[in-house]
Amino acid sequence: DIVLTQSPALAVSLGQRATISCKTNQNVDYYGNSYMHWYQQKPGQQPKLLIYLASNLASGIPARFSGRGSGTDFTLTIDPVEADDTATYYCQQSRNLPWTFGGGTKLELK
Amino acid sequence: EVQLVETGGGLVQPGKSLKLTCATSGFTFSNAWMHWVRQSPEKQLEWVAQIKAKSNNYATYYAESVKGRFTISRDDSKSSVYLQMNSLKEEDTAIYYCTRGYPGIDWFAYWGQGTLVTVSS
């Protein structure tokens, strides 16, 4: 299985940049696409798709969110951070079955 | 508007069975690739099962942790997907989400609100 590793938590100040990382133990690239996706989950809610194929913004997601990376190293950036962004962020790969998720990074405000 | 509504969760004893239902609307269900994803009390997300469309022969796939115990199925006439869970274990305790995957790439753009399954004696 492809293992995705995220830092458990990150604290940033309002208006600053948050960078959340996700590292995989196998390459998730395939024919020019990186099969890496990002989700936001707030307490008591279902996950919400933010980014698909590493860098594509999902419908309705503000441009403050961006994703980049390839191979085994990926980042989700929120710039600038707003109060409503406090949540847990998960990465997910769909390069190989079983589809797997990272452990999540909880974003908190300083 | 795309909607996915899960039902059927509850408290069940180890070794027993439970069947989850996901009723959908707002999209062409017959073409959709559907999944179940669960979230443990520790908040870890785990993909559980997938069923493709009729054009893909309704192919199914499972996580190793549930293979042989869980069965995913669908009824296109009811726009619904199901998860039959047998021989339940305490480690199956989780919120179970129904999701719609993007065919062939399998990101999850649409999620239900989830249904809680608790396995305990």
Q: Is A49 on the interface with B (CB under 8 A)?
A: yes
- Average pLDDT of the segment spanning B78-102: 98
Instruction: Please calculate the CA angle B12-B93-B79 and round it to the nearest 5 degrees.
Output: 80
Per the prediction, chain B carries an average pLDDT of 97
pLDDT score of B94: 98
Residues shown for chain B: 121
Q: Chain B partners of A33 at a C-beta cutoff of 8 Å?
A: 105
- Using CA atoms, how far residue B104 sits from A29, A73, B52, B63, B67, in Å, is 14, 22, 10, 18, 22
pLDDT score of B82: 98
Q: Is B27 on the interface with A (CB under 8 A)?
A: no
Terminal CA-to-CA distance of chain B, rounded, Å? 40
Q: How far is CA A52 from the centre of its chain?
A: 9
Residue B93 banded pLDDT, cuts 50, 70, 90: very high
Q: Is A53 on the interface with B (CB under 8 A)?
A: yes
Q: Chain A partners of B108 at a C-beta cutoff of 8 Å?
A: 37, 39, 47, 49, 92
Q: Helix-strand-coil percent breakdown of chain B, rounded to 5?
A: 10, 50, 40
- Average pLDDT of the segment spanning B57-82: 98
- Average pLDDT of the segment spanning A22-49: 97
